[in-house]
Amino acid sequence: MFQQAPPTLGNQYEDDSLLRSYLERNVPADTLREIEPALAEMGRLAGGDLYQMQLADRLNEPVLTQWDAWGNRVDRIELTALWRAAEKIAAEHGVVAAAYEQKHGRFSRVHQCALAYLFTPSTDIYSCPLAMTDGAARTLLGSGNQSLIERAVPHLTSRDPQEFWTAGQWMTELTGGSDVATSETIAKPDLTQNSEGETRNWRLYGRKWFTSAVSSQIALTLARPEGNPPGGRGLALFYLELRDEHGRLRNFTIDRLKDKLGTRKVPTAELTLDGTPAQLVLGTTDGVRNITPVLNLTRLWNGISAVSLMRRVVALALDYAHKRSAFGALLSEKPLHLDTLAGLQAETEGAFHLAFMVAELTGRAETKEIDEEQSALLRLLTPLMKLTTGKQAVAVVSEALEAFGGAGYVEDTGLPQLLRDAQVLPIWEGTTNVLALDALRALGTDDRALKALNAEVSRCLGSVHDQRFAEPRRVVQMALAHAESWLAAAREAGTPKLEAGARRFALTLGRAMELALICRHAQWLLENGGDVRAISAARRFAASGIDLITLTDSLPGAVQH
For ligand FAD, the binding residues in 191-210 under the rule CB under 6 A are: 210
What element of type H or E holds 279? Answer: strand 269-280
Binding test (CB under 6 A) with ligand FAD, winner from 112, 127, 169, 185: 169
Confirm if 288 and 180 have CB atoms less than 8 A apart.
yes
| Pattern 431-470, ligand FAD, x by CB under 6 A | x-xx--x---------------------------------
Q: How far apart are CA 402 and CA 448, in angstroms?
A: 43
Q: What are the Cα distances from residue 112, in Å, to 136, 485, 548?
A: 16, 38, 33
Q: Is 176 in the site for ligand FAD (CB under 6 A)?
A: yes
Q: What's the closest the beta carbon of residue 214 comes to ligand FAD, in angstroms?
A: 8
- By C-alpha distance, which of 199, 191, 237 is closest to 218? 237
Q: Is 83 in the site for ligand FAD (CB under 6 A)?
A: no
Binding test (CB under 6 A) with ligand FAD, winner from 152, 171, 509, 515: 171
- By C-alpha distance, which of 454, 460, 398, 457 is closest to 425? 398
Q: What's the closest the beta carbon of residue 240 comes to ligand FAD, in angstroms?
A: 14
| Residue (424 or 517) nearer to ligand FAD, CB | 424
Contacts of 159 (CB under 8 A, 6+ apart): 91, 92, 93, 94, 97
Torsion of CA 390, 396, 397, 401, to 10 degrees: 160
Phi, psi of 223 (to 5 degrees): -155, 160
Residue 66, SS3?
strand
| Residue (167 or 331) nearer to ligand FAD, CB | 167
Q: Is 178 in the site for ligand FAD (CB under 6 A)?
A: yes
| Pattern 398-437, ligand FAD, x by CB under 6 A | --------------------------x--xx--x-xx--x
Torsion of CA 333, 337, 342, 344, to 10 degrees: -140
Confirm if 307 and 389 have CB atoms less than 8 A apart.
yes
| Residue (35 or 281) nearer to ligand FAD, CB | 281
Q: Is 495 in the site for ligand FAD (CB under 6 A)?
A: no
Binding test (CB under 6 A) with ligand FAD, winner from 142, 177, 275, 277: 177
- Find the part of the chain contacting ligand FAD (CB under 6 A) among 165-173, 384-392, 515-523, 541-549: 165-173
Q: How far apart are CA 47 and CA 42, in angstroms?
A: 9
The footprint of ligand FAD on this chain (CB under 6 A) covers a number of residues equal to: 22
Q: Is 182 in the site for ligand FAD (CB under 6 A)?
A: no
For ligand FAD, the binding residues in 232-271 under the rule CB under 6 A are: 260, 263, 268
Residues that bind ligand FAD (CB under 6 A): 168-172, 176-179, 210-212, 260, 263, 268, 424, 427-428, 431, 433-434, 437
